[in-house]
Chains A and B, each alone.
Chain A
Amino acid sequence: MLLAQTRAQIVSYVRIPAFSLTSLALPVVFYTFFGLPNAGKHFADGTSVGLYLMCSFGAYAVSSVMVFSFGIGVATARGQKIDLLQRATPLPPGVAILASVFNALLFALIALLVLIAFVVLAGGVRFPVQTGLQVVGLLLLGALPLIGLGMTIGYSAGPNAAPAVANLVYLPMAFASGMFVPVADLPDFIQKVARYLPTYHYAQLAYTPIKHADEPLGWALSWSAVWALILFSLAVRAYRRDQQRKFS
Chain B
Amino acid sequence: MVELIAAHKSYRTVEALRGVDIAIQPGGVVAMLGPNGAGKTTSINLMLGLRKPTSGQALLFGLDPGHRRARSRSGVMLQESGVNGALKVRELVDLFRTYYPDPMPAERALALAGLEEQAGVQSAKLSGGQRQRLYYALAVCGDPELLFLDEPTVGMDVESRRSFLAGIKEFAAAGRTIVLTTHYLEEADELAERVIVIDRGLVIADASPREIKSRVAGKRVSFTSDHALQERELAGLPYSSLEIDGRRVRMLSNQPEGLLREVFRRGLAVHDLEVAGADLEEAFVTLTSRQPAPAVP
List A residues at the B interface (Cβ < 8 Å).
1, 4-5, 8, 11-12, 15-16, 77, 80-82, 84-85, 87-92, 246-248
Contact = CB atoms under 8 A, between A and B. Distances in A.
Interface size class of B (residues with CB under 8 A): 20 to 34
B81 A85 contact: yes
A247 B71 contact: no
B72 interface: yes
Interface in B232-281: none
Nearest to B75: A89
5 contacts: A8-B84, A88-B50, A88-B78, A247-B52, A248-B51
A221 to B, nearest CB: 35
A16 B85 CA distance: 10
Given A4-B98, A8-B95, A247-B51, A90 B84 contact: no
B82 interface: yes
A93 B24 CA distance: 28
A11 B211 CA distance: 52
A89 B82 contact: no
Contacts of B98: 1, 4-5
B81 A81 contact: yes
Given A1-B99, A8-B84, A81-B82, A90 B72 contact: yes
Given A85-B138, A248-B52, A91 B99 contact: yes
B112 to A, nearest CB: 17
A102 to B, nearest CB: 15
A89 B85 contact: no
Nearest to B97: A4
B228 to A, nearest CB: 54
Interface in B27-72: 48, 50-52, 68, 71-72
Chain B's interface: helix, strand, loop or mixed, by majority?
Answer: loop
Contact of A80 (B78, B82, B142): B82
A82 B50 contact: no
Contact of A12 (B72, B82, B86, B96): B86
B143 to A, nearest CB: 13
A235 to B, nearest CB: 21
A82 B84 contact: yes
B129 to A, nearest CB: 18
A120 to B, nearest CB: 33
A15 B50 CA distance: 31
A84 B98 CA distance: 18
B94 A4 contact: yes
A91 B72 CA distance: 9
A90 B78 contact: no
B87 A11 contact: yes
Contacts of B87: 8, 11-12
B84 A12 contact: yes
A15 B86 contact: yes
A4 B98 CA distance: 7
Nearest to B138: A85
A89 B50 CA distance: 10
Interface in B135-173: 135, 138, 142
A134 B142 CA distance: 44
B76 interface: yes
B28 to A, nearest CB: 22
B83 interface: yes
A158 to B, nearest CB: 15
A246 B80 CA distance: 12
B107 interface: no
A8 B86 CA distance: 9
B284 interface: no
The 7 A-B pairs with the shortest beta carbon distances in the complex, nearest first, are: A12-B86, A85-B81, A80-B82, A4-B98, A90-B71, A15-B86, A88-B76
Nearest to B48: A88
Contacts of A4: 94-95, 98
A16 B50 CA distance: 30
Nearest to A248: B52
Given A89-B99, A247-B50, A84 B80 contact: yes
